[in-house]
Amino acid sequence: MSVTRDSILGRLDTIPLPGGGTLVSRDLIRALTLEDGPGGTVIRFVIEAATPDEARLLAPVQPQVEAALKTLPGVAQVGVVMTAHGPAKKEPPPQLKIGGHPTAQQGGPQKVSGVARIIAVASGKGGVGKSTVSSNLAVALARQGRKVGLLDADILGPSQAKMMGVTERPASPDGQTIIPAQAHGVRMMSLGLMLKEDEAVIWRGPMLMGALQQLLGQVAWGTLDVLVVDLPPGTGDVQLTLCQRTQLTGALVVSTPQDVALLDARKAIDMFAKLKTPVLGLIENMSTYICPNCGHEAHIFGHGGVAAEASKLDLPFLGELPLALEVRQAGDAGTPIAAGDGPNAEAYARLAHRLIAGGMA
């Protein structure tokens, strides 16, 4: 039996609310969407209370609503966000502003609500394909049944919106909560969705740190098995903020096999060691190139350097990823290669399987 809007509303109309009525009879449901996801239908909507007091009164109902909808045949995921609005005619439309100095945080690194694991994808230098690995890994994990989020933390050079094929500005019903986009079975958020395509972000360190804090804490990620964080290259403010303020499962370090890339990858590994963030493993990207015309295998950036480095540092080597025209074309088209089939998609599927089998995702 397929999931329909009517079947969802019918189920919601059976759940009584404090003070009487249901979400349906009191007209509190907004932005109800149904999307195809791994394993079934993904349901998302907003419960819009009239006042903050009413939202607090309705808060205990939210988990009941999610649990009830998950019992519908064909439902894979349910995401519900609670918001509180004043009278629309008296209030200006909410405006969400990203950027600003971070707020104080006590008690050390914190968890992100609803997120079981957070994996940072890092590199010592740019140009090694870290963002391509991040988007394809997120999609590959989702195809293997994980509930996945993707956060583009490369704030000065965001690219995930392009690679994931997302163009719509994120909704913010209350000017505080950000509703993430959904693409290829992955919930994603990027500062690139908040800017014009050619608009530069010219911020000093505190602004970057504040933006990252907002993207982690104000996005309604819902319940996730894993959040993949695409870091900027290097060892700067964003990396420091993420490691010191957030409880990370660990980091994946991406490098090409060449000596110059490995030189900077070692610096990234050293940074994570000093910040007490586990390095889950090393990935060799652009490892092999197969000529589409003759089938000849070439190692344009060398081969095996990352595996040798992993062995030297006693770190897991998670595998090799190809250098392929199809991977670049898929990213430019907004449909990561991991969303399809074939040898290139299988390389990312193997990487995702290793992380899941190792309890890392």
pLDDT, one tens digit per residue, over 56-82 is: 888 889 989 999 999 999 888 898 888
Distance CA 93, CA 314 (A): 54
User: From the CB of residue 327, how many other CB atoms can be counted at a distance below 10 Å?
Assistant: 24
Distance CA 188, CA 135 (A): 10
Domain co-membership, 79 together with 122: no
Of the pLDDT bands very low, low, confident and very high (cuts 50, 70, 90), residue 87 is: very low
Of the pLDDT bands very low, low, confident and very high (cuts 50, 70, 90), residue 332 is: very high
Taking only the tens place, the pLDDT of each residue in 94-137 is 455 665 655 656 667 888 989 999 999 999 888 899 999 999 99
Q: What mean pLDDT do residues 314-340 have?
A: 94
Domain co-membership, 133 together with 248: yes
Overall domain count for the chain: 2
Q: Is the pLDDT of residue 89 over 70?
A: no
CB 79 within 8 A of CB 70: no
Q: What mean pLDDT do residues 341-345 have?
A: 93
Smallest CA-to-CA distance from 120 within 306, 185, 112, 31 is with 112
In a domain, 249, yes or no: yes
Domain co-membership, 201 together with 311: yes
CB 180 within 8 A of CB 220: yes
Domain co-membership, 51 together with 140: no
CB 28 within 8 A of CB 16: no
Backbone φ, ψ for residue 276 (5° rounding): 60, 40
Q: Please tell me the least confidently modeled range out of 33-47, 58-72, 321-335.
A: 33-47
In a domain, 159, yes or no: yes
Distance CA 174, CA 84 (A): 7
Give the end of a domain, one of 25, 60, 84: 84
Of the pLDDT bands very low, low, confident and very high (cuts 50, 70, 90), residue 93 is: very low
Domain that holds residue 171: 118-357
Give the end of a domain, one of 60, 84, 108: 84
> Which structure tokens are listed for 4?
């329909």
Distance CA 244, CA 341 (A): 38
In a domain, 103, yes or no: no
Q: What is the per-residue pLDDT for 169?
A: 85
> Which structure tokens are listed for 85?
């609005």
* Ramachandran category for residue 314: left, alpha or beta (phi over 0 → left; psi -120 to 50 → alpha): left
Please classify residue 290 by burial: count the beta carbons closer than 10 Å to its beta carbon, then call 0-12 exposed, 13-18 middle and 19+ buried.
middle
Please classify residue 166 by burial: count the beta carbons closer than 10 Å to its beta carbon, then call 0-12 exposed, 13-18 middle and 19+ buried.
buried
Distance CA 179, CA 229 (A): 17
Taking only the tens place, the pLDDT of each residue in 1-29 is 578 888 999 999 999 998 888 998 888 88
Domain co-membership, 174 together with 233: yes
Q: Is the pLDDT of residue 182 over 70?
A: yes
* Domain CATH code at residue 321: 3.40.50.300
